[in-house]
Chains A and B, each alone.
Chain A
Amino acid sequence: MTDQPTGDSIQRPVDASPLLSVSGLHAGYGPVQVLDGIDLEVSAGEIVVVLGANGAGKTTTLRALSGMIAARGTVLLDGDDVVGRKPEDLVRLGVAHVPQGRGTFPELTVTENLRVGGFTRSSEELAEDMERWLAVFPRLAERRDQAAGSMSGGEQQMLAIARALMSRPRLLLLDEPSLGLAPLVTRDVFERIVEINSELGTTVLVVEQNANLALDVASRGYVLESGKIVAQGSADDLRNDDVVRRAYLGV
């Protein structure tokens, strides 16, 4: 793989049919359009990161993909055009979105949070997965009957991810998992993400401001600025790119 200063070329894995294929995505909030036609692809089993500063449109991207806001363009999930579908439908199609700020149900207990996550699953699957995720996240198991709102930021983040995984998604959308978390905790969270991706093969699309950590775990990445993709490439390429380094890696 040659070193290219600003990666225009997309390094594709050999099995090239992408799980998620987005082209010309426009989305926003009423009169304020945030995304100005973006293209991206995520292949099954990958971890892909979207970097960008505040206001670049990262959260809007995920919201558009999970159906939370109206969007124009093409979003192919395994070949099906799902643009404009409602969140409840997308969950059933295998997309799980962990929103910015965790989005846990503060008044519900850990177990209840997980039960909600598995709402679309049968009760056997629910029971199985509950046990599994409580085992993967022992801190959650310890607090299984505790109200989610009383847990620390890191624990809530784990809970939010576990909750999303309860729906057995094919594609996991993570919105700034590092936000508001101490570095060590963030590292822990990212390690889990890698675990889940390698053991379950869950495809992960994560948007982050914290480029260092994200580029460590991702295989590919995109850089979003003012609603447009301005750079893309393998994680290595991006890490070595001067522009990216100055803007996002603080070098």
Chain B
Amino acid sequence: MTSSVAPTWGSDTVQLFVQRVFDGLQAGAVYAILALAIVIIFRASGMLNFAQGELAMFSTFVAWSFFDQGLPWWAATILSLVIGFVIGSLMYRVLIVRLGGTLASPLAVVMVTIGLFLMLNDGAGIIWGTDPAKVPRLFGEGRVELFGAGIAVQVLGLLAVLAVLVIAFGQIFQRTKLGLALRAVTSNQQSAALAGIKVTTTLMIGWGLSGAIGALAGTFTASANLGVDKNMMQIVLIYAFAAATLGGFDSPFGAVIGGLIIGLVSELVVGYVDIIGPDLRLLPGFVLVLAVLLVRPQGLFGTAKVGRA
């Protein structure tokens, strides 16, 4: 099925363009997922978790261990969600609560999460060593013809997962008691406690959910690279932060859109603008974020209170 709008210079250009778009969406979807994890924590407790990426990587490695022992990869992926949940909620309960919970100074939270970053990163290296940890693609190696280009089923699957995630989260937040509790705690923590909501438990669950989502970003990154590597999430984290900033730190929807946009922009600019080689891949995304911030400090979908100093 070729595109009906075929430019006169032939469909190769179109094919390349479509390929690039989907490459961008593939990368962007992973950024979106990790950005979602970041935003959930930020909305719930006003903090940035710098260890988000390493948490995802670690959960993926644990899942890989089971896969290595014979568990099918799809089951391992689900397992990684559980592990991410556990590590995330423990992180809140054990570390953040000790710093004073939501009253902790942002500096202290940054230091502690960076400390965890270091521990998880090197810890992974120590536990799983430097041998390659191969993983398959969750949705297989098939390709589908779309708009004249062969698009990997993996990418489409990933986008589908992202869509499901967004919908699922919307439902959880808007319709369940847990979601109400999370939104109440975010909105006014004191009043939430006065209404009988167990604030610490609620935040633990929030961080746990964030860890689970992050794990998903980890498994898909591993899938894309066909292997788990202890440094694989570091650059993803940077992109995810950029995505969250672009979308507005307190907007889950913004995080997802931001991720997709940054993925697309990075891929297309690097592909079509020669000065920006693959070395400077990060630059277009950052320039975009900076530009948006100058005009709208709260990001595309953020609320005003996020933007101001």
| Whether chain A touches chain B in the assembled complex (some CB pair under 8 Å) | yes
User: How would residues 38 to 56 of chain A score, 1 for a CB under 8 Å from any chain B CB and 0 otherwise?
Assistant: 0000000000000000000
Nearest CB on B from A97, distance (A) = 5
Partner of A88, one of B180, B187, B191, B196: B196
CB within 8 Å for A91 and B183 given contacts A104-B188, A106-B188: no
Once the chains bind, are A91 and B195 in contact (CB under 8 Å)? yes
Q: Indicate whether B198 reaches chain A with its CB closer than 8 angstroms.
A: yes
CB within 8 Å for A87 and B187 given contacts A112-B180, A119-B181: no
Q: Indicate whether A105 reaches chain B with its CB closer than 8 angstroms.
A: yes
CB within 8 Å for A116 and B193 given contacts A103-B188, A104-B188: no
The residues of A that contact B196 with a CB separation of less than 8 Å are 87-88, 91-92, 119-120, 167
Q: Indicate whether A96 reaches chain B with its CB closer than 8 angstroms.
A: yes
Bound Cα distance A87, B194 (Å): 5
User: How would residues 120 to 158 of chain A score, 1 for a CB under 8 Å from any chain B CB and 0 otherwise?
Assistant: 100000000000000000000000000000000000000
Bound Cα distance A108, B182 (Å): 11
Once the chains bind, are A99 and B194 in contact (CB under 8 Å)? yes
Once the chains bind, are B187 and A68 in contact (CB under 8 Å)? no
Bound Cα distance A46, B190 (Å): 27
Please report the number of residue pairs spanning A and B whose Cβ atoms sit closer than 8 angstroms: 67
Chain B interface, DSSP helix/strand/loop, else mixed = helix
Nearest-neighbor residue (CB-CB) of B183 within chain A: A108
Nearest CB on B from A174, distance (A) = 12
Nearest-neighbor residue (CB-CB) of B184 within chain A: A116
CB within 8 Å for A68 and B193 given contacts A116-B184, A119-B181: yes
Q: Indicate whether A203 reaches chain B with its CB closer than 8 angstroms.
A: no
Partner of A107, one of B177, B187, B190: B187
Interface residue count on the A side (C-beta < 8 Å): 25
Nearest CB on B from A2, distance (A) = 41
The residues of B that contact A117 with a CB separation of less than 8 Å are 195
Bound Cα distance A91, B186 (Å): 20
Once the chains bind, are A119 and B194 in contact (CB under 8 Å)? no
The residues of A that contact B191 with a CB separation of less than 8 Å are 99, 103-105, 116
User: How would residues 65 to 109 of chain A score, 1 for a CB under 8 Å from any chain B CB and 0 otherwise?
Assistant: 010100000000000000000111001100011010001111110
Bound Cα distance A96, B186 (Å): 20
CB-CB contacts below 8 Å: B187-232 with A? 187-188, 190-199
Bound Cα distance A158, B198 (Å): 24
User: How would residues 109 to 153 of chain B score, 1 for a CB under 8 Å from any chain A CB and 0 otherwise?
Assistant: 000000000000000000000000000000000000000000000
Nearest CB on B from A193, distance (A) = 18
A-B contact pairs, 8 of them (CB 8 A): A68-B193, A87-B193, A88-B199, A99-B194, A105-B188, A108-B184, A112-B180, A167-B196
- A-B contacts besides A99-B190, A105-B188, A117-B195, 14 pairs, CB < 8 Å: A87-B196, A88-B198, A99-B191, A103-B190, A105-B187, A107-B183, A108-B180, A108-B183, A112-B180, A119-B180, A119-B184, A119-B196, A164-B194, A167-B195
A interface residues (Cβ-Cβ under 8 A, vs B): 66, 68, 86-88, 91-92, 96-97, 99, 103-108, 112, 115-117, 119-120, 163-164, 167
A-B residue pairs, 4 tightest by C-beta: A91-B196, A120-B196, A103-B191, A105-B187
